Chains A and B, each alone.
Chain A
Amino acid sequence: MRFLSNKIYLIIALVTLLVLATAFVLGVLSSNKMREVISEQFNQQQLIIAKSVASDIEEKFDFIKNELHTLNLSPAIQYLEVSWPNRMQITMDNVKSYGVVEIGLVAVTESGTIAHRLDNAGRHYTEPVNPKAVPFCQWAQNPENKNKFYIQRTTWNIRNSSDTSYLLLAIPTYQVSLDESHPQALGNFTGVLYMLIDPYFLARKYAQDIRSGQTGYAWIIDAQGNFLYHPERDFIGKNAFEIREKRAARVSFDEINRIQRERMLTGQEGMSYYWSGWHRGVQAVMKKFIAFAPIIIAADNDALIWSVAVVAPQSEVEGAIHEVYIRQFLLQGFLILIILLAGGAGIYYESRWASSLAKEVERKTLELKKSNEELSISEKRYKSLVESAEDSILTVDSHGEILSVNRYGAQFLGYTVHGIVGKTLEALFPGKVGEVLQGQVERIFREKSGFRTVEELTLGDKEFTLNFTMTPVRDEEDNVLSVLIIIHDMTAVKRMEEQLYHTEKLASLGQLAAGVAHEINNPMAIILGYTDMLLEKVEEGSKEYKILKTIERQGNNCKRIVENLMSFARMPEGVQYDTDVNRNIELVMEVVQNTLLTKKIEFELHLAPNLPRVRGDAGQLQQVFMNLITNAVKAMPKGGKLTVTSRLHQKGDKVEVLITDTGEGIKREHLSKIFDPFFTTRKVGEGTGLGLSVSYAIISKYGGNIFCTSKSEEEYGEAESGSTFTVVLPVVSAVGEKNEPSGQI
């Protein structure tokens, strides 16, 4: 996570650098382009200014021309009336602000050439002149030049007293106008009307206020390349090609000279730049932008080409560019700052989010791990529960095929875990039980409700009582996935229940017997007592004697029945606590030996040597064995074989005695009843039906068990029939229980 984050930061930093570098390069390119554009625009503006100056000057020159023309139409001028100075003054007032310093008329008369002139101070003079000295006289006298203008740059004036170079504008004057004094136009040539214009004044008037940018200015050169106006006063009147070099010899003025020579003095307009050594007060080599426009001072004889230039140092443009650039840089910086801040904030929040996300993920992972662990523990617990359960636990699908089974279940059903999977319930439980189970599985899949049944069945050669609990296993949508079957082996429980049933039955019978015994023994004592007394009084062998004997015998029968009954009630607290089973068997066998011989019954004794002593009273055990052997003998009226076996139980904590006969066996339906008191299959008088229940009571009292397996003659035939009674007695532990009889009574 940290590594990834660093990588992202690195990428972001690189991208930012790239963006900044690109922005810088683009900025430089754009500033260059901008410089070009701004320079271009700046120069365009300069050009406009230059053209405006040129246009102003040309316009004023035209105005002057018009004024001159208007004045020339005045009769006062044409006819040289006395008011001529007044008329000139009117015109002078109109034009003197444009640099006109003198208006004059050189009149060519027969009497000579006389100049009538008015200066810009209002003074007027009339004086003769040498017509040859007047440059335009000859031109004016040519009738072809009537109404044409004459222009000339000249230092000429009437007095020739000045070096000042004027612009001379002249027009021939003819007597073509009418007035009161001259109602008819004579058309005579009067002379030449002229104006002297100060070109410096004119140039200064229109150039001196020009500002290009902060410091840019205009200058004007005339057709000879002399400065008509320049902010440097020293330059005015000087030759532009020379004066600069004089001023700054180390700077090459080739470019400006070339521009002046090739473009400005040829009447072109345009823009360019040149290198200069100063600008206003600043002395330095600098690039200057120049825009220039021609001023055409045109007349009919000639056209003077002047040129006005507007110049400004590059710094003017740079300043603007710089300002724009700064603004742009600030804007860019601001944008980058915002981007960086936004990016930073984004990264910050992203990283915070990522970190909180990481924490959340970590927490979730922990929880998941924990719950997985819990789940795994729970799963293990359940698995171990299932695996260690002493019940068969299996799942089956709708066809009754085994899907899973626990180890106990597989073992119980006689398979391995893998061997049983895929087998059907009907195959595992043949017959009716299998059908019932399969039917229930199908029903559970349909109806989704569980089922419980207790079935008795034979697996292998053993009989079992099994409790089947069947429950549906559902998914989240309540569909039945499989059926869980728990098979609980109830065989032992059922046997115990039966035993308990017998015991309880015997106990209640014992209580009953105790009461009955008391009630019967009292009258029996009287009956037998009196019989005994009477027997002494009658003759032996007499009829009465026989009767009394019968009474006595039946009374004794009664007594025996009651005694048997009393066996239930009379549970002596251990006349003897432990005894030798084999010895008791041998004693009983001695007694019954003769009977067996008589009844043609062969017998075998298989007594295991060195058996531990068992719990029980010798007399009572003998009674039990006697009962069982007597029963066996009675079961073999036609003779047979009696086998008595004693052996130590596998676990070593019990001794088993098996008494087996080959007699007629016990019918299946009777097997469950044989230990019930008063149950007998014999004829009345042959048995009381108490022998087995008494035996049962005795053995139970010592914590033992007695049970029977039998094959009846009806079911198995004579050859196979027979019964085995098994007496199980607990072994007396080495210490504690081996108490000798407490005393004699």
Chain B
Amino acid sequence: MAATIIIVDDEPDLLDLLKLILTEKTDYRVLTTTDPYEALSWCREYSADVLISDLRMPQLEGIELLKLLKEQDVTIPFIIMTAYGTIESAVEAMRQGAFDYITKPFRKEQIIMTIRKALGKRQELLTQQESTDNG
């Protein structure tokens, strides 16, 4: 079954671009929304494998969304996107438990590779959880 990628950004055009790239280059199921809370509920609803989120959103900051996700499900890797040229905010996100970061503008190869790494992590985490649950 194809992996489910949920992407949240306040810019619909960017969501469209990412959806285009991923649907053309991969077979992932891609769900996009501009509402961080919707993204969060979708994670549960559609058993998402990776959540990609913008850092700066009017409704909810990416860091806050990350915290909420971690409360909900620790096995979903969280990739943060930032248009700030600075990496400080990305570093902060990774301290909070984000898996990786993507700076805008990005190359499509960079996106795909990061998601692939995240999915690998997702598998790893699921296995760990299962063994914990089983044990």
Contacts and interface: CB of A to CB of B under 8 A. Distances in A.
B14 interface: yes
Interface of B: 11, 13-14, 17-18, 20-21, 24, 56, 83-88, 91, 103-108
Contacts of A514: 84-86
Interface residues of A, number: 27
A514 B87 CA distance: 11
Contacts of A684: none
A530 B20 CA distance: 9
13 contacts: A514-B85, A522-B83, A525-B104, A525-B106, A526-B11, A526-B13, A529-B105, A529-B106, A559-B105, A565-B85, A566-B86, A572-B88, A745-B87
Contacts of A562: 85
B91 A517 contact: no
Given A514-B85, A526-B13, A529-B17, 11 more contacts: A518-B83, A521-B85, A522-B104, A524-B104, A530-B17, A530-B20, A533-B17, A563-B85, A566-B84, A569-B85, A745-B91
Interface of A: 513-514, 517-522, 524-530, 532-533, 555, 559, 562-563, 565-566, 569-570, 572, 745
A521 B103 CA distance: 9
Contacts of A559: 105
B83 A569 contact: no
Contact of A526 (B17, B85, B86, B91): B17
Contacts of B20: 530, 533
A521 B108 contact: no
B85 A572 contact: no
B104 A533 contact: no
Contacts of B106: 525, 529
Contacts of A745: 87, 91
Contacts of A533: 17, 20-21, 24, 108
A524 B17 contact: no
A125 B86 CA distance: 194
A563 B11 CA distance: 21
Nearest to A519: B83
| Among A520, A524, A526, A533, residue most surrounded by chain B Cβ atoms (within 10 Å) | A526
A521 B104 contact: yes
Contact of A529 (B21, B86, B88, B103): B21
Contact of B83 (A521, A529, A565): A521
A572 B84 CA distance: 13
B83 A532 contact: no
A324 B47 CA distance: 157
A700 B40 CA distance: 44
A521 B91 contact: no
Nearest to B84: A518
Given A529-B21, A533-B20, A517 B88 contact: no
B105 A525 contact: yes
B93 to A, nearest CB: 12
A527 B106 CA distance: 11
Contacts of A565: 85
B110 to A, nearest CB: 11
Contacts of A572: 87-88
A512 to B, nearest CB: 12
A629 to B, nearest CB: 24
A524 to B, nearest CB: 5
